[in-house]
Structure formats: C-alpha cells, structure tokens
Amino acid sequence: MAARKTRNPRVLFVTPEIYPLIKTGGLADVGGALPAALRELGVDIKVLVPGYPKVLAGAKNIRQRCVFHDLPEAKVVRLLSASLPGSGVPLLIVDCPPLYQRGGGPYQDPSGADWPDNARRFALLSRIGALLGGEASPLTFRPDIVHCNDWQSALAPAFLRFMPGKKAATVMTIHNLAFQGIFPPQVFDQTGLPPESFNMEGAEYYGNFSFLKAGLYYADHITTVSPTYAREIQDEPLGFGMQGLLAQRSARLTGIVNGIDANDWNPAADPHLARNYAAADLAGKAADKRALQERLGLAPDPDIPLLGIISRITHQKGQDLLLEIAPRLLDKPVQIALLGTGEAELENGFRRLIQAYPGKVGALIGFDEGLSHLMEAGADLFLMPSRFEPCGLNQMYSQRYGTPPVVHATGGLADTVVDANPATLADASASGFVFAPPTAEAFYACIGRALDAYHDKDIWNRIQRNGMTRDFSWQKSAEDYLALYKSLFQ
Ligand code: ADP
Ligand code: GLC
C-alpha cells in the first residue's frame, strides 16, 4: 500500500449555489463559508459553480482558463477562473450562456416552474467537475478530492467512476434528500454513462434516472449535514426511497453538522441592524425590535413577545403547523413576523392572517437578505417547526442573536439546540425549546413553555446568553471534512 501523503489534499468543491453570489437556501451559505474555512486550515480548494448572470456579474478577477468543445450537453463551454467577493476563495465558473444566462432563479423560471432543461444544465456542472478531477484535465490544478453537493452535482462521481486513468476520490454531500433530480430514462442515454450503470445497482430509480442516486451509489464517501439526519435517512420516512442504499453504505456515511459564517452573522458588527449588541450588553436588541416592528407594520410595543420566522414556506418547514395554531396563538399578547416564500396555498394563508390581525402579524412574502438579519435581531423568539431539517442554519443564527429558537427535535435542529429544562438551565447549556412529535399541539405547547420563560427575565437572559456564547463556527466542522478528505486520499 502506498504511504499516506502528508500534504493537505487539493479539493474541487462543486456547488449549484454560493453566497454572496447566488442563494436560494442554506446550501449557498455552506458553499460560501465551508471552502473559506477549509482554506484557513491550509487546504488548496477551488469552488466550481455555474455561470448564472449573478455569478458573472459579482465574481472578481474573471479570466478565461480553457474551452471545452463538443460535450454531450453543449458545443462550447468556457471555463473561467475568478474569486469570491469577501473571502477571496478561488472560483471556477462553467460559462455556457445557452444553459445558464437567463432570468429567474438557478432552478426555476420567473413563474416558479422548473427549467425544462435542468437535467442538461446540471449534467454539465457535474461533467465539468468530473473532467477537472480526471487525468485529462486541462488545468494544472489537480484535485485529490471532488466534493459534490446535492443532486445538481451528483453525476460527477458516476462520470469519474467510469473515467480511465488516475482520478480524484469523491465525496457526495446530501443537503436535502427530498430533492433528488429524477428525470426520464431518455436523459440517461444522453450522458454517455455506460448502459450497465442504468440499473438498480447504479443510477436507475424505479425506471427513471436519478442524479442523486448516482452520486450516492458511486461516491467514495457520503456525508450529510448533521449526525441525527445521517441516522434518520437510513430509514423511512426520511430516507425518501434511498434508505436501503444509505443503510447499505452506512460505513461510508458521515454526519457533519454545518457551522455558520461568524463574520456575516455577528450581532456586534452586523450592518443590517438598527443597533449592534453583544452577549455582554443586549441593550441594542430593543432598537432592532422597534425597527422590525416599523418595517413590517407591527404595533410598536417593546414588551409584547415578537415571534420571528424566516423560511421557505413549505410543508417540510412545518409552516402549515404555524397556520393551524395561529388563531389560538394570536389570542395571546404576541406578534408574528414572517419572511419567506414558498407554496402558494401556504403563502395565501399568511396573507389572510396579516389581514385578520393588523398590527399583530407582519410579513414580507419574498426574499430579503438584509431583512433576514434584522429579523434575527429584532424578534424575541424564533420558530422553526420543520418536519425534517437536514441541518438548518436559522436556529444557529438566532441563538447567536440572542433570539432563542423553538424547534422540532429532528436532524440538525436536534443536534444544535439544547432544550431549556431545570437540568440544562443549571448547567448553563439551555439555548432554546425543543418539541416532538411535529404536531400542532406539541408546537403550541412548546411556544407556551417558551413564553413562560420569556416572562421570567432572569431565566430568559440566561437562555439568551447561553445561545450567544456557543461556538457555531465552521472551524470544527471544517476539521472533520479535512480528516475525511485525508482518509480518502492515498
Ligand atoms: P433551507 O436551505 O432548507 O431553506 P436553511 O435553514 O439551511 O434552510 O437555510 C436557509 C437560508 O436561507 C438561511 O440563510 C435563511 O436566512 C435564508 N432564507 C430563507 N428564506 C429567506 C427569505 N425569504 N429571505 C432571506 N433569506 C432567507
Ligand atoms: C438544505 C437543508 C438545510 C441545510 C442546508 C445546508 O437546504 O434543507 O437543513 O441547513 O441544506 O446544508
């Protein structure tokens, strides 16, 4: 056996989203922050992203590196190098205007429908990732590891597996197993993958072609974004059909909890707040509450508990549970502030609530990064009743902002929030409120428990400070990824 190399591995990190250039959810936050944290540990890392208009407009120092001709997905594809604004993380951009230069979002058109050519768009991202991990790469940068994220990059491990010659090892990270990139079997024929891989032992999923299954099957290692979710997905219902494969590969499946970008999410220096504050002096938080109330048309009451939500408004996120308990909840002296977009029916439910409770319910149905920071600061309590949550970031942001979260005991929520009870108050670990099962009743009761604590200023202060002083930085998780890379790199 070859001796283990002592140098750090070189890593190509492939992601369909990266903050601050393009974001629909937490994957972008991870794509922006994890590579920066790995770089601080001495890893030579580059991030491969599609050349959406926002990426081309926002990336720094763009230069052309090479051109690929006659790929199955496109005649001409330019590969650009650039750097990420802020951290300066090196980027590689897949520039293919027919596939990526358009309005709308990364996955959907302006009306919210999936782009009809998503299979081709993300097969290309995966293909370039694989080409750069293989012997024939035109770059001098030769990654030891190709680290893929979600279905949009999940064909790379399959392409690499069937590529001849020396090649990178692959890591496939699951951020959300509910999204699998499933396409009709004809799409498979266009990829050039060998027919034998269109099989139950491969990329086939009940007669269709599953990008994610290909990644899970062919990657050298699978990770997901919390240890609890890593266990949950090996079984029904959260395995979403992949539980058999994941249980079979469990020795190659690790849960590593996400961190947060402690610079972007720092109440002491956050430019989006009306006033900054820190654990030692929370006075500024009252000004942020007032600013949030003004912004969302809520009554300017400093004492009324203000419950905040920032979320995709979906069944996964349990927003229907909130709508179900809202009338009962709003009988009490509370205000609700909501920021989110999602399923039309649930969005309309919240619109009706705003009308029915003027001054008590305020919402922005849309996406607004700046407001999300003010919400974390201005709310008193943060609600996250997700039915499942691979990791979740807002519950960590809210703890950092002294806004204790109310969460369902699932996935990363279970791993990052410590329920307040006599024992955890005594050992100064209590940082929020945790409930199970994910029912309206249990959620309502848990909010009741949180409101009781809110009205005891001493207890509330302790819970706030416990959360604010926890270490959610990326350092520890980045070290876990580095150890994993090293174990795959021989
Ligand atoms: P998910 O990726 O499943 O949506 P996460 O909790 O991991 O959930 O991450 C969501 C990220 O997206 C957080 O950074 C959150 O603040 C942000 N976010 C979600 N909805 C909105 C919105 N409507 N406006 C601004 N930021 C949002
Ligand atoms: C997904 C998950 C979320 C996780 C994020 C980043 O969007 O739904 O729980 O925090 O990815 O890993």
Q: How do the pLDDT tens digits run along the chain, 490 residues long?
A: 445 557 889 999 999 999 999 999 999 999 999 999 999 999 999 999 999 999 999 999 999 999 999 999 999 999 999 999 999 999 999 999 999 999 999 999 998 899 999 999 999 999 999 999 999 999 999 999 999 999 999 999 999 999 999 999 999 999 999 999 999 999 999 999 999 999 999 999 999 999 999 999 999 999 999 999 999 999 999 999 999 999 999 999 999 999 999 889 999 999 999 999 999 999 999 999 999 999 999 999 999 999 999 999 999 999 999 999 999 999 999 999 999 999 999 999 999 999 999 999 999 999 999 999 999 999 999 999 999 999 999 999 999 999 999 999 999 999 999 999 999 999 999 999 999 999 999 999 999 999 999 999 999 999 999 999 999 999 999 999 999 999 998 6
Q: 224 CA distance to ligand 2 centroid (A)?
A: 9
Nearest CA residue ID for atom 5, ligand 2? 26
The answer, yes or no, to whether any atom of ligand 2 lies below 6 A from the CB of 225, is yes
- Which ligand has its closest atom nearest to the C-alpha of 258? 2
The answer, yes or no, to whether any atom of ligand 2 lies below 6 A from the CB of 257, is no
Contact assessment for residue 71 and residue 49, using Cβ atoms and an 8 Å cutoff? no
Nearest CA residue ID for atom 8, ligand 2? 176
Q: 76 CA distance to ligand 2 centroid (A)?
A: 33
Q: 282 CA distance to ligand 1 centroid (A)?
A: 25
The answer, yes or no, to whether any atom of ligand 1 lies below 6 A from the CB of 240, is no
Q: How many CB atoms lie within 10 A of CB 299?
A: 11
Quick one: 284-471 is in which CATH superfamily? Glycogen Phosphorylase B; (3.40.50.2000)
Show the tokens assigned to 313.
Answer: 């408004």
- Give the model's pLDDT for residue 489: 84
* Residue 220 amino acid letter: D
Backbone torsions φ then ψ of 246, nearest 5 degrees: -70, -35
CA 15/CA 27 separation, integer angstroms: 8
Which of the listed residues 17, 23, 27, 29 should we mutate to test ligand 1's pocket, taking the one with most ligand atoms within 8 A of CB?
29
- Which ligand has its closest atom nearest to the C-alpha of 31? 2
Task: Provide the edge-to-edge strand list for the sheet that holds 204-205.
Answer: 182-183, 208-210, 204-205
Q: Which atom of ligand 2 is nearest to the CA of 225?
A: 12
Q: Is the dihedral angle over the CA atoms 369, 370, 373, 379 positive or is it negative?
A: negative
The answer, yes or no, to whether any atom of ligand 1 lies below 6 A from the CB of 29, is yes
Which of the listed residues 19, 27, 311 should we mutate to test ligand 1's pocket, taking the one with most ligand atoms within 8 A of CB?
311
Model pTM score: 0.95
The answer, yes or no, to whether any atom of ligand 2 lies below 6 A from the CB of 258, is yes
CA 466/CA 461 separation, integer angstroms: 9
CA 386/CA 409 separation, integer angstroms: 9
**Residue range(s) in the chain whose domain bears CATH number 3.40.50.2000:** 11-259+475-488, 284-471
- CATH class name, domain 11-259+475-488: alpha beta
Q: 308 CA distance to ligand 2 centroid (A)?
A: 19
Write down how long the chain is. 490
Q: Which atom of ligand 1 is nearest to the CA of 176?
A: 3
The answer, yes or no, to whether any atom of ligand 2 lies below 6 A from the CB of 15, is no
The answer, yes or no, to whether any atom of ligand 1 lies below 6 A from the CB of 233, is no
* Sequence-distant (≥ 6) Cβ neighbours of residue 313 within 8 angstroms: 319, 338, 340, 341, 342, 343, 346, 347, 350, 365
